[in-house]
Amino acid sequence: MSSTVREKILKSIRGGEDLAGQNFSGVNLSEANLDGAKLTATDWTKANLREASLRFAILTNADLSGADLSNANLFGADMRFVNFQGTVLTGADMAGADLLGAKNLPRDVGSDGSRAKTSHGISGGEGEEKASFDGQRRCLGCEGYVAEEANFCQECGMRVSKSP
């Protein structure tokens, strides 16, 4: 990607432009400042976002499949329902990020120093539920509780089938 394309993208973001639905597949925005960017339903497939700052960015329903977010700052980002299939998150700071309904996010994110850091529960499962020993319905994706008549998990927001 040429530096002029990179600069055009960054100028749009700095100008507060809403870039919802745009295709950024394969772009190199390593070390870019994307703080507060409006990036709902954007495609970041195989994009290079290493060491980028996306603090408080709105990435709801974005596709980050295969993107490299190594050491990225995602503090407070709205990442509800984002697809993380194959995303590299080593060293990423996801503290305070909203990961409700996130798809394909590794279950061990935040469990050791080599993975992304997060302060929220996450899901990566199939959206099914199971009964637990205490009689409560539990989500297979995140082990969160599912209310008796609910069709979603209260922890991760994944849809689940109702009990027969």
Q: Could you tell me whether strands 129-131 and 137-139 are parallel, antiparallel, or unpaired per DSSP bridges?
A: antiparallel
pLDDT score for 141? 65
pLDDT score for 86? 94
Letter string b/e over residues 73-100, b meaning 16 or more CB atoms within 10 A of that residue's CB: bbbbbbbbbbbbeebbbebbbbbebbbb
Per-residue pLDDT of the chain (164 residues; tens, 9 = 90+): 556 778 888 888 888 889 999 999 999 999 999 999 999 999 999 999 999 999 999 999 999 999 999 999 999 999 999 999 999 999 999 998 999 999 998 765 644 443 455 444 333 333 444 444 445 666 666 666 666 666 666 666 666 665 44
pLDDT score for 15? 80
pLDDT score for 4? 76
Nearest 5°: the CA angle 105, 87, 57 is: 80
Structural domains for the chain? 1-122 (2.160.20.80), 125-164 (no CATH)
- How far apart, in whole angstroms, are the C-alpha atoms of residue 164 and residue 156? 22
Both tokens of residue 141?
Answer: 């994706």
pLDDT score for 30? 95
- How far apart, in whole angstroms, are the C-alpha atoms of residue 7 and residue 82? 25
Cβ atoms of 162 and 146 closer than 8 Å: no
pLDDT score for 42? 96
pLDDT score for 13? 83
Q: Where are the beta strands (DSSP E) in 3-148?
A: 93-94, 117-118, 129-131, 137-139, 145-146
Q: What is the pTM of this model?
A: 0.67
Q: How many Cβ atoms from other residues are within 10 Å of residue 43's Cβ?
A: 20
Residue appearing with tokens 């069709």:
151
Give 123-126's long-range contacts (Cβ < 8 A, gap of 24+).
123/99, 123/153, 123/155, 123/156, 123/157, 123/158, 124/84, 125/158
